[in-house]
Amino acid sequence: MAKAYLRPQRNNPNLHVMLNSTATRILFNKNKKAYAVEFVYNNQTFTVKAKKEIILAAGTMNSPKILLQSGVGPKDALDAVGIQQIHNLPGVGQNLSNHVAFSMNYWVNSTVDHRIITWQTLQDYLNRRTGPLASSGLAVTSRVPSKYTTADDPDIQMFFSLSQTTCSPDGQVDEAADPADPQKPQHVSISAVNLHTKSRGRITLMSNDPLAPPHMVGNYLTVKEDEDRLIDGIRLVQKLVNSATLRDTWQFVYDNVTQGSCADNNTWDSDDYWRCAIRYNTGGENHQASTLRMGSTDDEWSVVDEELRVIGVHNLRVADASAMPVVTSSNTNAPIVMIAERCADFINQRWGHYGKN
């Protein structure tokens, strides 16, 4: 994103990037007009004033935190940490939405050499920035429908990653990662990700210290439908690894690690077993969204309107994933760029092209 958006504008006199700085509060006048941003740099607090608007883009976790620190949010939450309320918006920090994933690990018993770190791959990367080491390891993904949706609205995403490379304990290329078991097979992880989660969490303040991190309550798997979709996602992964290609060529073998007491109390591979197992091995993705959700102005849980303006105050917009009504059925990076592009359009429409009119 920096290459696409910042680099072309790096000589623009209207652009000033402050490193190692933390925005802490938005300041409002008696008419609830946002007129300045307070930030901390080198342990000192500074204030920068805005001529037209302030754009809040601190992300799903920190955008609601900054609003709460500024006195915008539910009164009881603000009273609890000693912050004076400027404007009542019950939805600030609520409706936290995220994807959740259950990872299934497999040993690959094929005799094909799967080593990632060799002299050749090392030279490919160091000299040409090519080869497997130039990849993030998550180069392949798929989106498939569970039995709870339709083919045109897939709700399960699969991630495929090499969870164990051949790094050596002594840092020598081609040395076995585990000297005690030099022929140890390659380990591959396949994650089933629920893209249509119904459980909702929240972001709150731990204190009125503006530098303290926000408190997140994920509330993952609090809705049974989220469990059901994950279990069906597990079945889809099993169907894939039992396909002729993976079974005959790669010989995937499930790494049946102990999932708490699930195996003791449930029949292996039953739905009840997996319902228990997902409580031990399910994690949230980095796709948090919706903590300042967009909605109609007559909905008390809405925080921003259709033009990303914070409802009930003036000259303040939000341009990040927190404005999503619900997390998208995909990775969030591209949708966030779209939100920022639309925010730029709204600003141009309000103030004239580049603010000159």
At 245 the pLDDT is 83
Global pTM reads 0.88
Task: Quickly count: other Cβ atoms within 10 Å of residue 46's Cβ.
Answer: 14
* pLDDT, tens digit only, all 357 positions of the chain: 888 998 999 999 989 999 999 999 999 999 999 999 999 999 999 999 999 999 999 999 999 999 999 999 999 999 999 999 999 999 999 999 999 999 998 888 766 665 666 778 888 989 999 987 887 777 688 999 999 999 999 999 998 876 445 555 565 655 555 556 656 667 788 999 999 999 999 999 999 999 999 999 999 999 999 999 999 999 999 999 999 888 887 788 888 776 778 888 899 999 999 999 999 889 999 999 999 999 999 999 999 999 999 999 999 999 999 999 999 999 999 999 999 999 999 999 999 865 454
Active site (annotated) includes residue 287: yes
∠22-58-160 over CA atoms, to 5°?
120
CA 351 – CA 302 distance, rounded (Å): 25
Q: Where in the chain is the domain with CATH 3.50.50.60?
A: 1-95+290-351
The CATH homologous superfamily for domain 99-199+220-286 is Glucose Oxidase, domain 3 (3.30.560.10)
CA dihedral 251, 252, 253, 259 (to 10 degrees): 180
Which is the catalytic residue, given 16, 196, 215, 287? 287
Q: Where in the chain is the domain with CATH 3.30.560.10?
A: 99-199+220-286
The CATH homologous superfamily for domain 1-95+290-351 is FAD/NAD(P)-binding domain (3.50.50.60)
Residue 59 φ then ψ, to 5°: 95, 170
At 319 the pLDDT is 98
